[in-house]
A = this chain, B = another copy of it.
Amino acid sequence: MIDVDFLSYLEEKLDKVEQRMVSNADGYHPDLIAALNHLMSAGGKRIRPIITLLMGTLLGAEEEKMISLSASIELLHTATLVHDDLIDGALLRRGNPTLNSHWTPAATVLTGDYIFAQAARLAAEIGSTEAMSLFAETLSIIVNGELSQLFDRSQVPSREDYYHRIYEKTGSLFALSARAAALISPADRKYIKLAEAYGREIGKAFQIVDDVLDFTGDQARVGKPIGSDLRHGVPTLPAIYYGEQHPDDLVLLSCLEGSATEAEADALIQRINASGAIQQSLEEARHCTEIAVKSLQDFPAAREKDSLEKLGSFITDRDL
């Protein structure tokens, strides 16, 4: 789980979220339960539950509802990852073997579906049809984003296109984590929109940093080859900034079209890393976290508010 001091007081609640994620699996097929345990042990930073728990506590939401909401959102996230890894043919995620690396595609599709069902079940348990609608809407946004990414390839997108895509892919679920936490709380409804803005901007920063780490990160730690997105024809912010400044570098386009050799891709990734594009991307991420923090200014003062504020710099400074 998360190993930073300023969030250690969440440990107990986060454990409850983990437990709720695998609750109700009794009586299901043993191979399915094994797959769920495998996915749970791969873990991840659980940053979405952290946002829900902080925002919900800050606004006075009931703990039980926050736990179910967090578990539901994290399961929704897990289900999309399972299908995503299958689609990409990815064999590793966070350095761990993916489900599809040792299961058949059929079992992987169905396990993802099962996790969707569990996510929907927990979302229903919260007892808010408004939260349930948001949940369903967010799933639509994520899937539509994945379909667009699948169909609309082989060109350098604008930064706007990129921001739209990462909202679909990442920001929407962060926004849901914060917004639904406000929604299930008894606090004034004005906070719902502000919480949504916080989540959306934090999610945007998170994804930009993730995309930067794909260029600058340590291969063993990131769990995939450096520049893996670009090698798979997916343009991210560093590549887009680089492309704006080097419209004459035709290797970028051939990389996106999948026609570049490995040596050409290696050299391009080095050129992007040596350019100002990495720094520009990180500045954009920091700008997002500033907007996120600003959207909290009218929230009640509390330890949880401080943590939400710190989360921004935790995200932009991680592993860099």
Option from B32, B109, B129, B140 in Cβ contact (under 8 Å) with A87: B109
Q: Is the CB–CB distance between B109 and A144 below 8 Å?
A: no
Is there a chain B Cβ closer than 8 Å to A150's Cβ?
Answer: yes
A187 → chain B, closest Cβ, in Å? 21
Q: Which residues of B contact A163 (CB under 8 A)?
A: none
Is there a chain B Cβ closer than 8 Å to A135's Cβ?
Answer: yes
Distance, CA A312 to CA B32, complexed state (A): 35
Distance, CA A136 to CA B114, complexed state (A): 10
Is there a chain B Cβ closer than 8 Å to A279's Cβ?
Answer: no
Which one, A90-98, A115-123, A212-220, A289-297, is touching chain B? Answer: A115-123
Option from B86, B106, B116 in Cβ contact (under 8 Å) with A139: B116
Q: A124-B135, A135-B120 are in contact. Are A147 and B31 (CB under 8 A)?
A: yes
Q: Is the CB–CB distance between A151 and B109 below 8 Å?
A: no
Distance, CA A129 to CA B130, complexed state (A): 10
A227 → chain B, closest Cβ, in Å? 22
Is there a chain B Cβ closer than 8 Å to A223's Cβ?
Answer: no
Name the residue among A31, A128, A132 with the largest chain B CB count within 10 angstroms: A132
Name the CB-closest residue of B to A105: B105
Distance, CA A218 to CA B259, complexed state (A): 49
Is there a chain B Cβ closer than 8 Å to A23's Cβ?
Answer: no
Q: Is the CB–CB distance between A121 and B133 below 8 Å?
A: yes
Q: Is the CB–CB distance between B28 and A144 below 8 Å?
A: yes
Q: Which residues of B contact A111 (CB under 8 A)?
A: 147
A252 → chain B, closest Cβ, in Å? 24
A67 → chain B, closest Cβ, in Å? 17
Q: A116-B116, A144-B114 are in contact. Are A109 and B86 (CB under 8 A)?
A: yes
Q: Is the CB–CB distance between B87 and A113 below 8 Å?
A: no
Is there a chain B Cβ closer than 8 Å to A64's Cβ?
Answer: no
Is there a chain B Cβ closer than 8 Å to A77's Cβ?
Answer: no
Q: Which residues of B contact A29 (CB under 8 A)?
A: 144, 147-148, 151
Q: Is the CB–CB distance between B32 and A147 below 8 Å?
A: yes
Q: Which residues of B contact A31 (CB under 8 A)?
A: 147, 151
Q: Which residues of B contact A116 (CB under 8 A)?
A: 113, 116, 139
Q: A87-B106, A106-B87, A107-B147 are in contact. Are A129 and B124 (CB under 8 A)?
A: yes
Which A225-273 residues have C-beta < 8 A from chain B? none
A interface, CB within 8 angstroms of B = 28-29, 31-32, 80, 83, 86-87, 104-107, 109-114, 116-118, 120-121, 123-129, 132-133, 135-137, 139-140, 143-144, 146-148, 150-151
